[in-house]
Structure formats: structure tokens, C-alpha cells
């Protein structure tokens, strides 16, 4: 199985550490890039500013409640851009609001996961994401130099 590139869009340092450690300990080799706000995520995906040489991710893990641009705004930009709309986006957030769930799917999120509060449960969710989205699902092939 080929390694995949994951973009984690998250502003909470604790969640960044837990997510990256869980993914690094997983069965599948992957590269994880982290950006801490929505505006930075768009810069990364559009390869602008500090991210001119960035790799197009195979998968995006996107939080909703972030500074500069929230996750819904980022999701809309990702799914409206022909160069990025093929990238699966997993909403990974603390919000369990029905409005946030509905808005995410209306903006074409590929799935919505509410982060558990318990650390062990959180690690299990990340493992499940890896098992399903990396081991089972066939992701679209991307031209890494786009």
C-alpha cells in the first residue's frame, strides 16, 4: 500500500499531538502536515505563500471552530475548487450540533466525526479513521506536483 499524505487542520495543540501520534503509530505509512487555522489551510491547498511546494494531500482532517476561517468556510473553498474538490474531507470536531453536521454535509464533507472527550476513545476514533479511510477506501490518485 502506498503512503498517503494527510493534511490536519486543527488549532488545538493537544488534539494535534494526539492525532499525529495516533496516525504515526498506525499500520499505514503516511505523511502528516499540520496547519492551525482555516486561512493557512487554503494557502496550503492552493500552494501559496509559504506553501508553494506543498504536496496535494490525499485526505484532509478538518476542525470546524478555528481562527481566521472556520471549517465550513474552508470546506466550501475546497469543494468549489476543481483542483481540490476530489480530496476527501473528514470533519473532525468537538461540535455535535445538528446544524454543524447538516452544514458540513451540505458543503460536501465526506464524513463528520465528533471528537470524543476521553483520550482513549479519541485514539480509537483516529485508528478507525486510519483503518477505514486509509486501509479500506480507495482514494483518488492525485498528481502530487499539482
pLDDT tens digits, one per residue of 60-78: 999 999 888 999 999 999 9
Q: Where are the beta strands (DSSP E) in 10-46?
A: 30-35
Q: Which fold has domain 56-135?
A: Rossmann fold (3.40.50)
Beta partners for residue 62, in sequence order: 9, 91
Give me the residue spans of the domains in the chain: 56-135
CA distance 91 to 80: 17
Instruction: Determine contact, residues 79/107, Cβ cutoff 8 Å.
Output: yes
The model carries a pTM of: 0.88
What pLDDT score was predicted for residue 34? 95
- Nearest 5°: the CA angle 60, 61, 67 is 105
CA angle, corner 80, sides to 125 and 45, nearest 5?
A: 60
pLDDT tens, position by position, 11-41: 999 889 988 888 877 666 778 899 999 999 9
Amino acid at each position: 500500500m502506498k503512503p498517503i499524505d494527510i493534511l490536519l487542520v486543527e488549532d488545538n495543540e493537544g488534539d494535534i499531538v494526539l492525532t499525529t501520534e495516533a496516525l504515526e503509530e498506525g499500520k499505514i505509512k503516511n505523511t502528516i502536515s499540520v496547519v492551525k487555522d482555516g486561512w493557512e489551510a487554503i494557502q496550503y491547498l492552493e500552494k501559496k505563500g509559504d506553501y508553494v511546494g506543498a504536496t496535494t494531500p490525499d485526505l484532509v482532517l478538518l476542525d470546524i471552530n478555528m481562527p481566521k476561517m472556520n471549517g465550513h468556510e474552508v470546506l466550501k473553498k475546497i469543494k468549489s475548487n476543481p483542483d481540490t474538490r476530489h480530496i476527501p474531507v473528514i470533519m473532525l470536531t468537538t461540535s455535535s450540533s445538528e446544524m454543524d453536521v447538516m452544514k458540513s454535509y451540505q458543503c460536501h464533507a465526506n464524513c463528520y466525526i465528533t471528537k470524543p472527550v476521553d483520550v482513549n476513545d479519541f485514539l480509537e476514533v483516529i485508528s478507525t479513521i486510519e483503518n477505514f479511510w486509509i486501509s479500506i477506501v480507495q482514494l483518488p490518485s492525485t498528481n502530487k506536483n499539482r
